Structure 1
Amino acid sequence: MTVSIVRPKSLTAATLSPALRLKDILKTLPKECFQKDMKKAWTAVIVNVLMVGLGYASIAIAPWFLLPLAWLFTGTALTGFFVIAHDCGHRSFAKRRWVNDLVGHIFMLPLIYPFHSWRLLHNLHHNHTNKMDVDNAWQPFRPELYDGMPKLIQQAYQGMRGRLWWLASIVHWAIMHFDPSRVEAKDRNKIKLSVAVVVGFAAIAFPLLIATLGFVGLVKFWLMPWLVYHFWMSTFTLVHHTAPDIDFQEPEQWHAAKAQLAGTVHCDYPLGVEWLCHQINVHVPHHLSTAIPSYNLRMAHESLRANWGAHLYESRFSWSLMKTITDQCHLYHAEECYQSFKAHHQLKG
């Protein structure tokens, strides 16, 4: 995929009024954007289950040289599982909370992702998008924090912000989502429940898979698609809020409408990825309101283009896009948004 980056229409020239509120933007969206459609929601579930089943079948019958394609398809379809659970976490899948919680837990099982843990921590990201020291998704390190770290941690961070970006989601999953202390005391039992659910699933599924297909079967049917899923998770999350001219703001300067409208990136991916992942990369309207179901995101985005187009940041997935991000967007810089590792080390001498 070697398509060019589509720069913002007039991002540098367009300014948002400090008095602008999120609800002012939301009032311009069609009311239909916020309406749940159970037929569309459950159709997405059925189709996604069929696609994941097709993916596993392709892994079972594919000759060795076609396995990478089967893993790519299956891992991308499993990312669709996550997006369905994502809607459940935001209560935009079903009207009943218990349905959202049940479906969310089920669809995160193959990913070994604790549903409530992800849901609660992800809501923090939505409430404080691009706010320094608060946002928990791809926040750049401050230079002084980076300088004070052991060399090994610095090198790991360089990898996660550089060419190894696709592993960052695994690190985030392992560090953040199995620790109940990261949420308020009143929610910790929910975290413990979700962790118990996925640990119990893994304790049954993994030994069964090894017993029937051997350790190679575990790698072939679970690990490789799981790594593809984390490639997309890392890529989607990084691209959603990262560009050389999209800034993280100090808490006292943070402006909700600016962060959610102009600090969130719309990125076009290949049609197959968009379809299997339920349009989650139509991300600007999702950050304006998590109540918009995934199947209504494109409708909402077209409305935003018509009314707020000068403030939208739109790009297209390509190696050049990822190279730009991973070459430049490393450390926090108050005036220039980001400072690269190279520039930082040159300044230090």
Structure 2
Amino acid sequence: MSCRLALVDSLFQFKASPQKPIINKRNIAVQFSSPGICNTNGGSLVGKGLGHQSHLLPLRKHTAIKAVAVPVAPSPLESDEYRREIAEKYGFEKIGEPLPDNVTLKDVLNSLPKKVLEIDEMKSWRTVLISVTSYTLGLFLISNSPWYLLPFAWAWTGTAVTGLFVVAHDCAHKSFSKYKLVEDIVGNVALMPLIYPYEAWRFKHDQHHAKTNMLYEDTAWHPILKEDFDSSPLMRKAITYGYGPVRPLMSIAHWVMWHFDLKKFRSSEVKRVMISLACVFSFMAVAWPLIIYKTGIMGWINYWLMPWLGYHFWMSTFTMVHHSAPHIPFKDSDEWNAAQAQLNGTVHCNYPKWVEILCHDINVHIPHHISPKIPSYNLRAAHQSLQENWGKYMNEATWNWRLMKTILTICHVYDKEKNYVAFDELAPEDSGPITFLRKAMPNFA
């Protein structure tokens, strides 16, 4: 599941160059602040860790400066009490303690029972049957509902068609069938009603799994970079709305920007992407005119557009819940740890039972990141195994308003120390949408 703000992706792909330290020839101001790292800033050496005291040290001609190791304070997340406090504050049931550095993704994967990786083609086709049946029922409800019940029919149908996406999702990860041709056909056909080019999405989604929570390389929701936020008033406004009130539908922007531009793919991928593009354009050329001919423009809105928007609501919401939380860091590639990102940096979230059934347990998401080859119908068994062996490191929630409010009003601009800084903390005068959400959204878990 993936969605970084597409406008930012398309216009701003740069990284600040490192600053060279400057040392004053006459003296050095040594400043102690928060734990961990010493760096230089202008004419000063800034040491983070011991308050805010400054001392001027005169330098003689041959004075030598020796580095002193400063103990790094333990992470606050190592405290049970602190984790309970922020779990309550953010809307989580449980926030996992930090995973030790010496644990590898292979260690976690090897702890899973081998049967959770086995493909059962009958169960795979059962997921297709559930999705096709529920989608058909949704279309029937739309055609027979009075106007005041249409939103419920749209919600059901949009959720049902999200199940078709999950079928294609299994195909993309080679967990649907033992035959790749079958997976390619089913994947393309399942995504045609969503106008989603299967191969284009698959290539980008694979990158999300390989580099989950990697600051620049992950293709899912990212924190905004401060240089993007400060780049222009227009960009700031677009970002504030996109990562604020519009965020539950922002996968539409990602869909537009990432899946139809052949320049974003390797030459070896282009042929397969073009096949998928041909599939979705064929659906548009045949199905859309047929719907309009039979039911008119309002029929096209009722039968296709509104369920499609419902799908994007789930696509956006699932992704940001799985991969955005104030305590979960995004890291540069040289600091990134696969096990920490996949087990400790992915969120399990329980949704209402009908959503779980129609969406084939896609929100049992941690085992899917431990191994994408686990079929959707085995995710719960895999999750149970992870809880038994690694449960104290796992983040878990049940969907609630406080969780959503946390994501929409806090998880904004990247900060290496804090993980996120909210828009209204950086630019309160331009953050009306975030202020509105803080006041308007419920805060109960």
Per the alignment, do residues 54 and 308 of structure 1 end up closer, same or farther by CA in structure 2, a change over 3 Å counting?
same
The match for 1:140 among 214, 223, 227 is: 223
1:213 Cα deviation from its structure 2 partner: 0.9
Q: Which residue of 2 aligns with 1:99?
A: 182
* 2-structure distance, mates of 1:293, 1:209: 34
1:157 Cα deviation from its structure 2 partner: 1.5
* 1-structure distance, mates of 2:242, 2:373: 31
Q: Which residue of 2 aligns with 1:50?
A: 133
Tell which has more relative contact order, 1 or 2 (C-alpha 8 A, sep 6+): 1
Amino acid at match of 1:94: S
* 1-structure distance, mates of 2:310, 2:289: 22
CA shift digits 1:194-242 (9 cap, x unpaired): 1111011101111111111111110010000100010000000111111
2:26 matches 1:26: no
Q: Please list every run of 5 or more consecutive structure 1 residues that lacks an aligned counterpart in the other structure.
A: none
1:43 Cα deviation from its structure 2 partner: 1.1
1:346 Cα deviation from its structure 2 partner: 5.8
1:153 Cα deviation from its structure 2 partner: 2.4
Q: CA RMSD in A?
A: 1.4
The match for 2:312 among 224, 227, 230 is: 230
Q: Which residue of 2 aligns with 1:208?
A: 290
User: What are the equivalent positions in structure 2 for 1:294-313 lying under 5 Å apart?
Assistant: 294-313=376-395
Taking structure 2 as the reference length, what is the TM-score of the superposition?
0.75
* 2-structure distance, mates of 1:15, 1:44: 35
Per the alignment, do residues 157 and 346 of structure 1 end up closer, same or farther by CA in structure 2, a change over 3 Å counting?
closer
1:116 Cα deviation from its structure 2 partner: 0.1
2:167 matches 1:84: yes
SS in structure 1 opposite 2:414?
strand
2:305 matches 1:219: no
Q: Which residue of 1 aligns with 2:5?
A: none
SS in structure 1 opposite 2:349?
strand
Q: Please list every run of 5 or more consecutive structure 2 residues that lacks an aligned counterpart in the other structure.
A: 1-89, 431-445
Q: Which residue of 1 aligns with 2:363?
A: 281
Taking structure 1 as the reference length, what is the TM-score of the superposition?
0.95
* 2-structure distance, mates of 1:22, 1:181: 33
2:89 matches 1:6: no
Moved more, 33-42 or 156-165: 156-165
1:15 Cα deviation from its structure 2 partner: 3.0
2:343 matches 1:257: no
Q: Which runs of 4+ in 1 moved over 4 A?
A: none
2:353 matches 1:271: yes
Amino acid at match of 1:85: A
Moved more, 159-168 or 291-300: 159-168
Amino acid at match of 2:337: H
The match for 1:72 among 155, 179, 195 is: 155
2:98 matches 1:15: yes
Higher share in helix: 1
Q: Which residue of 1 aligns with 2:214?
A: 131
CA shift digits 1:74-123 (9 cap, x unpaired): 00000000000000011100111100000000100110000000000000
1:5 Cα deviation from its structure 2 partner: 2.8
The match for 1:328 among 407, 410, 416 is: 410
Q: Which residue of 2 aligns with 1:122?
A: 205
Amino acid at match of 2:389: N
The match for 2:262 among 175, 180, 200 is: 180
SS in structure 1 opposite 2:250?
helix
Amino acid at match of 1:259: A
Q: Identity over the aligned pairs, expressed in percent? A: 46
Moved more, 256-265 or 159-168: 159-168
Moved more, 279-288 or 160-169: 160-169
